[in-house]
Structure 1
Amino acid sequence: MRLRIDRHFRALLAVLAVTCLLGFGFKQHCMPGGWTDSEQYLTGCYSDAVPFWTARAVDKGSIPYLQTPIEYPVLTGAAIWIEGAATHLIFGREANDAKFLGVVTAVNIALAFLILWMFRRAGMDRRRLWWWAAAPPLILYVGHNWDMIAVTLAVWAMLLAREGRLIRAGAAAGLGVAAKLFPIVMLPLFALSAFLGQGRGWWQRVVRAGWVKLAAIGAWLAVNLPVALLAPANWSEFYRFSQARGGTVAGTWDVLGNLGILQLGTPGKNLLAALAFAIGGAAIIGLGWRRHHARLWLLSTPLLAWFMLTNKVYSPQFDLWLWPMLVMTAPRLWPVALFAATGIFAYFAEFWFLAGMDGAWPAANTLDVAGAAAARALVMLWLIADCVRRAPPEWVTLPLARQAEAALPGRAHRKGARRQER
C-alpha cells in the first residue's frame, strides 16, 4: 500500500514540475532581446519582476523602504530584496531583469511544491491534489509577481484552522497580511470560531478569541514595526497607494463604469467597495452559519471570492489567491474548472486591451474585457453560493470524525477503531 502512495506522490510531483516549467517558459519566452512590439501583452508574458528590476532599483541592490519606496507590504518587499540579492550573487555581472525573473519564478515554484506537500500531509483526497498539481493559474502566474508568498501563508492558516489550532492560524494569517492584504478576510472567521467553540466556558471563549486576534496583530507587527519606525513614509506607501489608486479595467466598478451603468471616482469606488464587501460578507456568514458553524473557516473561500468581486482592483493574478482555497473547500470541482476557463479568457482580454492601448494587434476593447470579467464573476457567484449552501468536501470532515471516535470510551472506542481498519 505504501508503495502505491509513494508512486502516486511522485506522479503528483512530476505533474506539478511540468505545470511549473510551463509557467516558467510562459514568462521567460519573450525575455531574450527584451520586450518589443507589445509582446508582453500580446503573448501574456508580462511579469511585475521585469519592470521592478530597474524601477525599484533592484538592479542597484537598494533596500526596499529604507533606500527606495515600494508599493508592496513589508514581507513581500523583503522577498524582492532577497531575490534581487540572490540574482546578483548567482549571476554577478550578468545579472539582469531576465535572471531576476528566473529567481523570482524559482522561489514561487518552491512555494507551489510546499503547498502540495501541505495538502498531502493534511490528508486531502487524491483528486483534489491533482487539481493543484495541474492548476492552470500556476501556468499563468507562477512567474507573474510575489503573491505566492501570501497564498502559501493563507493555505497554511486554513489548514491550521481545520486542525483547530486557531491561535496559530491567526498568526499565519497575520503574516499573510504582511505580504498581501487578502488573508485579512480569514481573521474574523478564526476569531468567531474561537469564541463559539464548544466545551469551554464563556470567559474562556472570550480569552481564546482575544488570543487569536493578538496572534494575528503580533505577527503583523513583528514584520512591520521595525520598518515603520525606520522609514515611516516609505513603509506607508502601500496603504496610501492602495487608497489613492484608481480601479482596473477588469474590476467590477470599472466594468460597470465602462458600460455606462455606474460612473464613480476613486473615493466613490472606495466607499462602495467597503460597503458592498461588508454587507455581502455579513450575508455569507449569516447564510452559511447553519451548515458551517462547526467549521467557520470554510467560509473564508466565499468571503475571499466576494472580496475580489467587490474590490475596485481586480488584477489578473488575483485568480491565484482563490484557486487553492477552491481546491481545498469547493463542494464541487467542475465549477472550479469553469473559473479557470473564464480566468484565462479574462487574462488575455485584459492584456490584449493593454496591447490595443499601445496600438498593437490583436486588441481588445472595454466591452471585450467586460464580457470576460462578467463571465468570471458569474462563475464566482456560483462558487460562493455552492460554498455557502452545500456540504464541504469529505476530506475536510474526516479529522473531526476521528476526534469524536477517539473520545469514545472503552468498548465503543475499540469498535470505532475496528471500523476504521476495515
Structure 2
Amino acid sequence: MWAGGPAADPRSVDGRDRPSRNDSLVAQLSTTVGGPVGDHALIGRARFWTPLRVLFLFTVVFLALGWGAKAPCIQQTSAPDGRAMLDWGDGRQYTAMCYSDTVPLYGAERLDEGAFPYKKSWTEETPDGGVETRYMEYPVLSGLYQYLGMQIAKTWDASPLPGALQVVLYFNVIAFGLALAWLVTVWASATLAGRRVWDIALLACSPLVIVHAFTNFDALATAFAATGLLAWARRKPVLAGILLGLGGAAKLYPLLLLGPIVVLCLRVDPMRRTPSAHTGLRLRDIDSGARALTWLRETPDRIRVTSQRPLGAAGVAVGAAASTWVLVNLPIALLFPQGWREFFRLNTTRHADPDSLYNVITSFTGWSGFDGELAHGEAPTILNTVSLLLFLLACLLIAYIALTAPRRPRLAQLCFLVVAAFLLTNKVWSPQYSLWLVPLAVLALPHRRILLAWMTIDALVWAPRMFYYLGLDRKGLPEQWFTGTVALRDLAVVGLCALIVWQIYRPAQDLVRRDFVDDPVGGVVDRATDPLLPWLPEWLRPWDSLRHHHPAR
C-alpha cells in the first residue's frame, strides 16, 4: 500500500510555461545553448540566473544595440573654424538611420541655453513667411525630464570629468534614464506574466527596442503604464491610478488603460461568491470535474475573496489618475499658461502625420484630405473630428466585445485593443509610439512567431522612412515606398486585433488561460464571478448566456 508521496519541495512546484518544450521556434533556438529543458528538471531552483535576471540581461543587450544604432548621430567632427560639431552633414542622420528626436530638440527647445521649459519662448519663421511664438511642445513630465537631463549634462560638462559636446552628454543622460525606464517596463511585465514569464523575452528582445528605445521619451510612459497595471493586478487601485496619471502626464496613452478597467468592472458581480466565481471558470469550461476539485483542494491560495467592490475600485483608480494628472499639470498651467498650452495647441493644429492612415490614403490617391489645403497654424477641424469619432466608435465596439464575450476578457487583451484603435484612428502615429503596444501585445497574445513577425515589420518601417526623409534629390526613396510599409504595419496591427478578438470569443484558445488561470492582470476582477448581468439589454449580454437561457434561438 502506498503510504504517502515524497516530501514536498516547494521549489519544484512550479506551473511555469516551458517554451523550449511547447514552442517549436524556441525549441530550435535552444539547441544553441544545450537544447530544451529536461522532462524531469526541477523548475525554479536556480540561485542566480532566475528568469527575471535572464530577462534583464536580454534587455541590457538589446538596449546596448539600440544605443549603438543611435551612436552615429552623436559622432563629432570639426567645423571650418575648428570648432567641434555633430557630424550631421549631407543627411547623415538619415543615411545612417540613427535619427533621434533628443539630439535636435536640445537646441530647438532652447535647452542648450539652460532655460526652464514652458517659461522660455522663442520665435520661428513659418512657411508662409510669418513668425510665431513657440514654447516646449511636450507634456509636463516629458518636458521636466528633458530639463533634468539638461541640468545633469551641463553639470557634467562643467566638471573635470571627461567631456564631449553638451548635446552628446545630454543624449547619453537621457538614454540612460530611458534604459532604466524600459527595464522597469520589463520587470513589471514579467511580474504580470505569472507562469508565462518567458513570454517577456519578446519584450526584452524586441526589434523595436533597437530602433526606438532612444528615438523619443516614450519609455517613460511604458514604465508608468506597466507599473500602473501591476498595481491594479495587486489590488491597489489608488497606486494604480497615481501611476497611470503620472504616465498620462508624460504621454497620453496610459490614461486610455482606465477605460478597459471600468468596462471589466461593469461586467463583474461582486456580491456572489461561488467556486466558479473564485476561479473565473464555469462548469462547462472544465473538462474534468475531478481535476477541478483536486486543483481547488490543493491550491487554496489561488482562491481570492476580496471586500473590494470592482466598480468602486475602478472609480478610485480613475479618480486617483485624474487627481494626479491635475496635480502634476496645475503648477505649470498656473505659472506658465502659454507654455503649458503649447502641447495642446500643436496637437490641435497639426495635420495628418506621415505615419497616419490618412496620409497613407493621400499618398496613394492624391486625396487632399478632409479639410483640403490649410494655411500654417490653421487647425484641420474636420480631420480632428473624424479621428476622434472613429476612436470613440472603436471604443464602443471594444466595450461591446467585452460585454458579449462568452467569458470575461482579460484586461491586457482589452488594453491592447484600445491602444491599437487609438493609434490606427489617430492623425499622429510617431514611429516610437509602437513601443506602447509591445508590453500589451506580449501579455495579450503570447504567440511568439506572430508577435515577432509584427515587431519585425514595424521596425523595418524605419528604413524607408529615413530614406524618404533624405529626399529624392539626395537619392532617397519616393513617398510611396515609405507609406506602403506603413500600410503593411497597419495591416499587421489589425491582424493582431482580429486574433485577440477571436480568442476573446473562444477563450479555450487563449494560451494564458490554460491550467485554470483567469486573468493575471485583472486585479479585483481576477477569478471573480461572471454573471448574466440582467440589468443589460439582451444584445449586450454574453452570447453563450443567451444561448443557455434561450436554447431555441
Q: Calculate the TM-score normalised by the size of structure 2.
A: 0.68
Per the alignment, residue 70 of structure 1 pairs with 136
- 1:324-335 pair list within 5 angstroms: 324-335=439-450
Moved more, 136-145 or 188-197: 188-197
Per the alignment, residue 457 of structure 2 pairs with 342
Per the alignment, residue 37 of structure 1 pairs with 90
Q: Distance in 2 between matches of 1:65 and 1:371?
A: 38
User: How many residues are aligned here?
Assistant: 404
- 1:92-103 pair list within 5 angstroms: 92=158, 94=163, 95-103=165-173
Is the aligned partner of 1:16 residue 2:86? no
Is the aligned partner of 1:269 residue 2:383? yes
Of 360, 370, 376 in structure 1, the residue corresponding to residue 474 of structure 2 is 360
Q: Look at both structures and tell me which one has the larger radius of gyration over its CA atoms.
A: 2
Is the contact made by 1:162 and 1:295 (CA closer than 8 Å) also made in structure 2? no
Judged with a 3 Å threshold, the aligned counterparts in structure 2 of structure 1 residues 380 and 398 are, in CA distance, closer, same or farther, namely closer
Is the contact made by 2:232 and 2:523 (CA closer than 8 Å) also made in structure 1? no
| Percent pairwise identity | 26
Per the alignment, residue 255 of structure 1 pairs with 360
Q: Distance in 2 between matches of 1:406 and 1:205?
A: 12
- Per-residue Cα deviation, 1:184-238 (whole angstroms, up to 9, x for no partner): 321222223344443259x966654432321111010111001101011100100
The amino acid across from 1:39 in the alignment is R
Query: Where does structure 1 lack aligned partners over 5 or more consecutive residues?
Result: 408-422
Is the contact made by 2:310 and 2:524 (CA closer than 8 Å) also made in structure 1? no
Per the alignment, residue 494 of structure 2 pairs with 381
Judged with a 3 Å threshold, the aligned counterparts in structure 2 of structure 1 residues 400 and 336 are, in CA distance, closer, same or farther, namely closer
Moved more, 278-287 or 206-215: 206-215
- 1:6-405 pair list within 5 angstroms: 6-9=48-51, 10-33=53-76, 34=86, 35-68=88-121, 69-92=135-158, 94=163, 95-122=165-192, 123=194, 125-200=196-271, 207-260=312-365, 262-264=367-369, 265=371, 266-289=380-403, 290-291=405-406, 293=408, 295-296=410-411, 298-356=413-471, 359-361=473-475, 363-390=476-503, 391=507, 392-394=510-512, 397=518, 399=520
Q: Distance in 2 between matches of 1:133 and 1:400?
A: 19
Q: Distance in 2 between matches of 1:136 and 1:12?
A: 15
Shift of 1:319: 1.1
Judged with a 3 Å threshold, the aligned counterparts in structure 2 of structure 1 residues 5 and 195 are, in CA distance, closer, same or farther, namely farther
Per the alignment, residue 531 of structure 2 pairs with none
Is the contact made by 2:444 and 2:500 (CA closer than 8 Å) also made in structure 1? yes
Is the contact made by 2:270 and 2:310 (CA closer than 8 Å) also made in structure 1? no
- Per-residue Cα deviation, 1:337-381 (whole angstroms, up to 9, x for no partner): 121121122211212110116x323x2222112210111111100
Normalized per residue, the structure richer in helix is 1
Query: Where does structure 2 lack aligned partners over 5 or more consecutive residues?
Result: 1-42, 77-85, 122-134, 273-307, 372-379, 529-553
Shift of 1:292: 5.8
Q: Distance in 2 between matches of 1:223 and 1:404?
A: 30
Shift of 1:67: 2.7
Q: Distance in 2 between matches of 1:112 and 1:329?
A: 19
Shift of 1:106: 0.8
The amino acid across from 2:97 in the alignment is G
What secondary structure does 1:246 align onto? Answer: coil
The amino acid across from 2:444 in the alignment is T
Shift of 1:285: 2.4
Q: Distance in 1 between matches of 2:231 and 2:149?
A: 28
Is the contact made by 1:299 and 1:388 (CA closer than 8 Å) also made in structure 2? no
Shift of 1:244: 0.5
The amino acid across from 2:335 in the alignment is L
- Per-residue Cα deviation, 1:311-348 (whole angstroms, up to 9, x for no partner): 11111111111111111211423221121121122211
The amino acid across from 2:143 in the alignment is G
Per the alignment, residue 415 of structure 1 pairs with none
Shift of 1:112: 1.6
Is the contact made by 1:288 and 1:389 (CA closer than 8 Å) also made in structure 2? no
Moved more, 363-372 or 376-385: 363-372
Per the alignment, residue 416 of structure 1 pairs with none
Shift of 1:5: 6.3
Q: Distance in 1 between matches of 2:113 and 2:411?
A: 46
Judged with a 3 Å threshold, the aligned counterparts in structure 2 of structure 1 residues 240 and 404 are, in CA distance, closer, same or farther, namely closer
The amino acid across from 1:169 in the alignment is A
The amino acid across from 2:115 in the alignment is S
The amino acid across from 1:74 in the alignment is V
Is the contact made by 2:262 and 2:311 (CA closer than 8 Å) also made in structure 1? no
The amino acid across from 1:151 in the alignment is T
The amino acid across from 1:177 in the alignment is G
RMSD, aligned α-carbons? 2.8
Is the contact made by 1:249 and 1:350 (CA closer than 8 Å) also made in structure 2? no
Q: Distance in 1 between matches of 2:526 and 2:345?
A: 51
